[in-house]
Amino acid sequence: MLTAFITHPDCALHDMGPHHPECPQRLSGIRDRLLGLGLLDCMQQCDAPRATPQQLGRAHSMAHVRALIAASPKEGLRSVDPDTCMNPHTIDAALRAAGALVLATDMVLSGDAPSAFCCVRPPGHHAERNAAMGFCFFNNVAVGIRHALEVHGLERVALVDFDVHHGNGSVDIFRNDARVLMCSIFEKGIYPFTGEDDSGPGMVNVGLPSRSGGAAFRDAVTRQWLPALGAFAPQLIYISAGFDGHRDDDMGNLGLVEADYAWVTRQIMDVANRHCRGRVVSCLEGGYALDPLARSVAAHVRVLMGAD
């Protein structure tokens, strides 16, 4: 069985205008890098379906789903928050991005793939139950997790998030869901200016100071994530894989490099191998400096598929 690589051409049609950091070239750069390294040829390449309203409604209110669909412009751009807007193709891209997580969940839990990487956009972890924000419309990973819980009947699912920005949307959706353990590491004091107060049962949110670097990142994973994940013993692990903490990405300032992303992926895979038969579903979140993003995703995917 090969790791699944799930994407769709519609995800490249969402465009928020010239010079916006969350650009279509993010996906083509990743694909070119994986292809050039021979990794893509060793993966199952799958088209993402559109998520259905029922699937979206497990993570979002139907009012939010209907409002976003209704807001889709026939031409030009329509703003939904100061840095997030829709073009005529955005809704299709967002439905494909969320649908990718549903397909990945089905494939991994049915045994059709040992793991999956969803190379999709728009990203999702800032999208709250009732709000789009921070380049995000639907919370893709949350849609996949709720599909695993409600349709497949899992009882314990872990979400690990290493984007440089705190996944406020995922916290909003899962804060009171005892079936989900969320572990995140993010840079303090930057958008969305949340996270440090999001503690308690089911939440292991670790804010790191600017310029912390790889050593502090690895220490936080080792001391805070891994014990919590081991005690929780998840049946499936999801990754909100953001690569904007890279030292060459000016959206954040954690100072991480490709080796850090490979290392954290290896730790997650070790937990998955011990507790859930290696079952991991990863989804692209942030990462806006195109070449470092492509290199970091390649390091992540290489470990995810067992090639490193």
Active site residues: 126
Dihedral, 212, 215, 217, 223 alpha carbons, nearest 10: -130
Structure tokens at 86: 């829709």
Asked if 3 and 40 count as a contact pair (C-beta separation under 8 A), the reply is no
Q: How many residues does the chain have?
A: 308
**Which residue, 274, 273, 269, 247, is CA-closest to 258?**
247
**Which residue, 246, 265, 259, 270, is CA-closest to 303?**
265
- CB under 8 Å to 9, separation ≥6 — which residues? none
- CB under 8 Å to 283, separation ≥6 — which residues? 100, 101, 104, 117, 118, 120, 124, 140, 141, 144, 238, 239, 240, 241
Write the burial class of residue 270 (CB in 10 Å: 0-12 exposed, 13-18 middle, 19+ buried): middle
CA distance 191 to 170: 15
